Chain A
Amino acid sequence: MTMVSEVLSARCINCRITRPTGTQVPLSTLKAGVKAVLVGFDDSLDAPTTRRLMDLGFLPGRCVELVRKAPMRDPLMFRVCDYELVLRGAQAGKILVQTEA
């Protein structure tokens, strides 16, 4: 393993959440137009996927908005890091957010 790949694959050891508190909900459960702050990833999400979601801008602490849902309610369009990205409900369900309220 090279230095770079070692550094990259060691990321996000402490951003997994085993027992979400009451206010921490899956990103997929937001209503269209609602913003929330990303708090971490469900413990069942594998490490490479978690790291890729972070590379796409889904970093803990970032604000995420569910922009719209596709006609059959999946996939979902999000706004994060000032751009728009589509994820499927299956993955978005593993991203945990805390709503402002």
Chain B
Amino acid sequence: MTLRHPGSGAVQLTPQLERFALVGSPNAGKTTLFNGLTGLRAKTGNYPGVTVSRYEGVTRFSGHELLIEDLPGTYSLDPISPDESIVSGIIDPEVAEHDQPRGLIALLDATSLRRSLGLLAQLMTTRQPVAVVLTFTDELARRQGRVDVAALSRALGLRVIPVISGRGDGVRAVQEAMVEVDSWPAPAIVPPSDHDELRGWVDSVLAAAGYQVPEIDSRTRRIDGLLLHPVSGTLIFLAVMYAFFQIIFTVAAPMQDQVEAFFGWLGGLASEGITIGWLSSFVSDALLGGLGGVLVFLPQIMLLFVMIALMEGTGYMSRAAFLMDRVMARAGLEGRAFVALLSSLACAIPGIMATRSLPSAKDRIATIMAAPLMTCSARLPVYVMLIALLVSPDAKLGPFGAQGTVMFGLYLLGAVSAMSAAWVFKRIGGRSGIALPFYMEMPSYRLPSLRTVALTVWESSKAFLRKVTSIIMITTIVMWALLNLPLHSDADMLAAGVDPTDEVAASAYVIDNSLAASVGNAVEPVFEPLGFDWRINIGVLSSLAAREVFVATLGQVAAAQNPDNPGSALQTMTVDSGARAGEKLFDTATVIALLVFFVYAMQCMSTLGVIRRETGTWRWSLIAFGYLSVLAWVMAFAARSLTLALL
């Protein structure tokens, strides 16, 4: 599984360039080679008519420009999933709807040649020009395996290029080979397809190439003995998950303080330097109070992606799927769905796109409907803000930090809810269709490459910043306007008994009589049972665009109501009317209700858009929005009532 954020728009095809396709099984090192060949200039888009992502990039070599296409990983040209149908369609010369590549670059993992030669045999059957790139030759050597590359090339009748991951010379050799595509050897006869003959062909090729089977990786076996042990493995899995959430708080907190201090300093400059009243309010409330309030969470989001990239890079992610598969089976899902749900911890969008590896349409729908319940990185800022209102940073639960424990609980609640939702949707979908097999390769433990980790973090930070500067910024500006309009003259304020020269009282008057307040008050009957007042309502409504906007909106409200100390404004904010008038607005029951509301609510327009794209109809987007909204209200109400009853 490779985390990639969704690209937008279709690929601008460059037909004058010769196109080469990278083909190989998942984990064969395709993405590493692709990145090595194209640098960071890859473009993403979709294949015509289907929603499988297409990755293309240009590689330059001694005056030549070549187009490289990274095909989805596949074990066979005999497809069982939408991803794989694309691969076989592009490679099969008789399928007219896709352009044929000029040549195929088949990536074979040197440590599992006996398996990967089967895919190569199928590629050769198409009689398309093929060259072989042998990956992980360094690991083969480390495990005392051997292969004679020249002899392998003779036995296959194909050009074979060995590469070592992270070395430039292999990339250059691949580029050189592509330029010389016209002189690629083509074998006189194609390999057999009958299973007995195929086994014989594979074994004879390997014997001719002097292939020495790599020793069972003793390091991996030893680590697995511990990490997959029924008792220690389960305990370590729980500990890893738990550490995950403690780290988000403890490691990120100091960095977050720095960012906060920086925005505080900027705010000071703005209020001193800008003399035009409305502009000063716009800069300090909307830009610094709102957007700054969201940007503060960048360290946490980066840390989350570092940890996900580390789990993937080391090979622990597959182990987690192995340990959790039985639990997934309970929900009627398979381990691959677990991988899709795990990606949703970053963002539901790559998670939903990862369901393309699921062969069964019913499983896909069930997983897509469950994915928005997994705690995505957009919920992180909301949770961090609300948890700070609930428990103090010093509070402990036994030896553990209370904040991290609450966070762990929220992630757990999200995961359990996602599984239950998947189970329900599987049930509704009926029991039709054949059950296609679940299989998952167990990679050896590897040291994750710093470059890949850095790339993942960079990409996700960029995506977060793009989101902040687009959808979150627009919504925040709209909210600022709603919170400050209509305009009030000094005479209006005096008539209402407010001193217009008292800045705090004046801004409180403006916000309390704003359009936003009217909207917030209008929906009050819906949210009143949850303990929300108009300020929370307006935050919840604005977060329909994206969850982080909730933090931005409440940041604006706080900055307007208590300009001197917006940080503690939320802590001390009180309810101004109704039965709870004068009481603390963010009391325990209300904060818990809000947290639970955010666990379930479907507040992400991008996710609804992706569900539409992946399922081909708005129907599933509407169903997801409907069921999650109802669930959010009901669960928040239950949580609040339960808390009130217990306190």
The chain A residues found within 8 Å of chain B, CB to CB, are 2-5, 7-12, 15, 46, 48-49, 51-57, 59-62, 68, 70-75, 77, 79-88, 90-91
Please, which residue of chain B has its CB at the minimum distance from the CB of A50?
A: B437
| Count of chain B residues near A, Cβ 8 A | 52
11 further interface pairs, Cβ-Cβ under 8 Å (given A48-B436, A71-B326): A2-B95, A5-B88, A7-B193, A49-B437, A52-B437, A55-B119, A61-B199, A82-B113, A85-B439, A85-B440, A88-B325
Q: Count CB-based A-B contacts (< 8 Å).
A: 147
17 A-B residue pairs with CB within 8 Å: A10-B193, A11-B194, A48-B78, A48-B436, A52-B75, A52-B78, A52-B80, A57-B115, A62-B199, A71-B228, A71-B230, A77-B228, A81-B115, A83-B441, A86-B438, A90-B435, A91-B439
Quick one: which of B119, B198, B233, B438 has the most chain A CB within 10 A? B438
The CA-CA distance from A3 to B190 in the complex, in Å, is 13
Contact of A87 with B441 in the complex, beta carbons under 8 Å = no
**Within 8 Å CB of A80, what residues of B?**
115
**Within 8 Å CB of A49, what residues of B?**
434, 436-437
B391 beta carbon closer than 8 Å to chain A: no
Contact of A74 with B329 in the complex, beta carbons under 8 Å = yes
Contact of B322 with A48 in the complex, beta carbons under 8 Å = no
Contact of B115 with A52 in the complex, beta carbons under 8 Å = no
A87-B115 contact given A4-B94, A9-B78, A71-B233, CB 8 Å threshold: no
> Closest CB-CB distance, B144 to chain A, in whole Å?
13
> Closest CB-CB distance, A35 to chain B, in whole Å?
12
Contact of A7 with B125 in the complex, beta carbons under 8 Å = yes
The CA-CA distance from A4 to B122 in the complex, in Å, is 8
The CA-CA distance from A3 to B128 in the complex, in Å, is 13
Q: From the candidates A8, A10, A81, A88, name the one contacting B112 in the complex (CB within 8 A).
A: A81
Contact of A72 with B326 in the complex, beta carbons under 8 Å = yes
**Within 8 Å CB of B88, what residues of A?**
4-5
The CA-CA distance from A58 to B80 in the complex, in Å, is 17
B234 beta carbon closer than 8 Å to chain A: yes
Please, which residue of chain A has its CB at the minimum distance from the CB of B436?
A: A49
> Closest CB-CB distance, B194 to chain A, in whole Å?
7
Contact of B195 with A8 in the complex, beta carbons under 8 Å = no
Contact of B122 with A48 in the complex, beta carbons under 8 Å = no
Q: From the candidates A5, A81, A87, name the one contacting B437 in the complex (CB within 8 A).
A: A87
A91-B438 contact given A11-B195, A82-B111, CB 8 Å threshold: yes
**Within 8 Å CB of B196, what residues of A?**
60-61
A4-B111 contact given A71-B230, A86-B322, CB 8 Å threshold: no
The CA-CA distance from A53 to B224 in the complex, in Å, is 24
The CA-CA distance from A91 to B437 in the complex, in Å, is 6
Contact of A82 with B114 in the complex, beta carbons under 8 Å = yes
A59-B112 contact given A2-B94, A48-B436, A70-B326, CB 8 Å threshold: no
**Within 8 Å CB of A73, what residues of B?**
326
B629 beta carbon closer than 8 Å to chain A: no
Please, which residue of chain A has its CB at the minimum distance from the CB of B441?
A: A85
**Within 8 Å CB of B334, what residues of A?**
88
**Within 8 Å CB of B322, what residues of A?**
70, 75, 77, 86
Contact of A70 with B198 in the complex, beta carbons under 8 Å = no
**Within 8 Å CB of B604, what residues of A?**
none
Contact of B325 with A83 in the complex, beta carbons under 8 Å = no
Contact of B325 with A74 in the complex, beta carbons under 8 Å = yes
The CA-CA distance from A59 to B214 in the complex, in Å, is 20
The CA-CA distance from A70 to B213 in the complex, in Å, is 26
- Interface of chain B residues 531 through 554 with chain A (CB within 8 A): none
A68-B437 contact given A4-B77, A51-B78, CB 8 Å threshold: no
A15-B195 contact given A75-B326, A88-B325, CB 8 Å threshold: yes
The CA-CA distance from A68 to B226 in the complex, in Å, is 12
**Within 8 Å CB of A46, what residues of B?**
434
B313 beta carbon closer than 8 Å to chain A: no
The CA-CA distance from A65 to B320 in the complex, in Å, is 22
> Closest CB-CB distance, B623 to chain A, in whole Å?
29
B375 beta carbon closer than 8 Å to chain A: no
B335 beta carbon closer than 8 Å to chain A: yes
A86-B194 contact given A2-B94, A70-B228, A71-B233, CB 8 Å threshold: no
**Within 8 Å CB of B75, what residues of A?**
52, 55-56
- Interface of chain B residues 179 through 206 with chain A (CB within 8 A): 193-196, 198-199
**Within 8 Å CB of A12, what residues of B?**
195
Instruction: Give the 8 A-B residue pairs with the shortest CB-CB distance, closest first.
Output: A2-B94, A83-B112, A55-B76, A81-B114, A81-B115, A72-B326, A71-B230, A84-B442
A3-B94 contact given A86-B325, A88-B329, CB 8 Å threshold: yes
B323 beta carbon closer than 8 Å to chain A: yes
B126 beta carbon closer than 8 Å to chain A: yes
